[in-house]
Amino acid sequence: MTIKTSDTGILYVVATPIGNLEEITPRAVSVLRQADLIACEDTRHTKKLTSHLGISTPLTSYYREKEQQKAKVLLQQLQDGAKIAIVSDAGAPGISDPGAVLVRLARAEGIPIIPVSGPSALTTALMAAGLERSRFFFAGFPPPKKNTRREFFKQLAPLPWPVIFYESPHRIEQSLVDCLNCLGNRHGLLFRELTKIHEECREGLLSDLSKSCAGKNRGEFVVIIDGAAKTAEDKPEDLDSLILWYRDQEGITLKDAVRQMATDLDLPRTRIYQRALSLWKKI
């Protein structure tokens, strides 16, 4: 493959649609069209996008199993002056997708790195989740092997922030079961096929979410699980004091607090919620 060269090589890190093709930005289209080469996870997948956009830029594969080797080849082309755009099959390269290796090599050699922002399953799920606080922990993809995956979730168990991870359709059921066993029966959100025709969000306890995924699944998943509940030896026992106590705990939302207080006091959530509304925002 012949690569056109210029005086200065540039690496563009380009976000592409996670589902709906209209998510592609005009800037991303311009960069992909003007690049000398597009490095992608699966050339067949990216070819569908470039054909849809009328882009004829040459494609080359850059997938996880060959990332180290291919990064060195692409680095040489960048050093020779090529303008290369790297994309993943969906979303932002380097976020649980190939890309980080080449970015690090290029930066070490002083090659300009230009991120072209756009769609991301992580930020899309966060927008739809409605978390009241901005703190969360992104865990990427859980390990595929059973024992390693369980250890992975055990390490996440103490975190006080919502935990977000990606999962494939053939492992989502077992990952949710492992979450249940390692984290307890926490509340969660399960997003599937974000921005696509069959997009859906399921909400509930891990026990219910795992049952909803029993059997065959389709599409990619983003999972958001509540952080570890706050504990204290001298937690108040009356409702008003307990509402204020939960309000002052870092990282807990009103919705999460109401759910936990209903368990603490064995009271209906609706009653707690109405009282909490009047106290939660008082200073």
Give me the average pLDDT of each 10-residue run along the chain (283 residues).
Answer: 60 96 96 97 94 96 88 95 96 90 94 96 94 89 95 93 96 95 93 95 95 92 90 70 80 81 82 86 60
Domain 10-118: which CATH number of 3.40.50.720, 1.10.10.10, 3.30.70.890, 3.40.1010.10: 3.40.1010.10
For the chain, which residues make up each domain, given as ranges?
Answer: 10-118, 122-225, 239-279
* Cα atoms in the Cβ-side hemisphere of radius 13 Å centred on 88: 24
CB 47 within 8 A of CB 77: no
Report the predicted TM-score, pTM, of the whole model to 2 decimal places. 0.76
**Nearest residue to 35 via CA among 69, 52, 17, 60:** 60
Domain 122-225 belongs in CATH node 3.90.1150.10: no
The pLDDT, as a whole number, for residue 33 is 97
pLDDT at 191: 98
pLDDT tens string 171-210: 999 999 999 999 999 999 999 999 999 999 999 999 999 9
Please name the residues in contact with 141: beta carbons below 8 A apart, sequence gap of 6 or more.
96, 165, 166, 167, 168
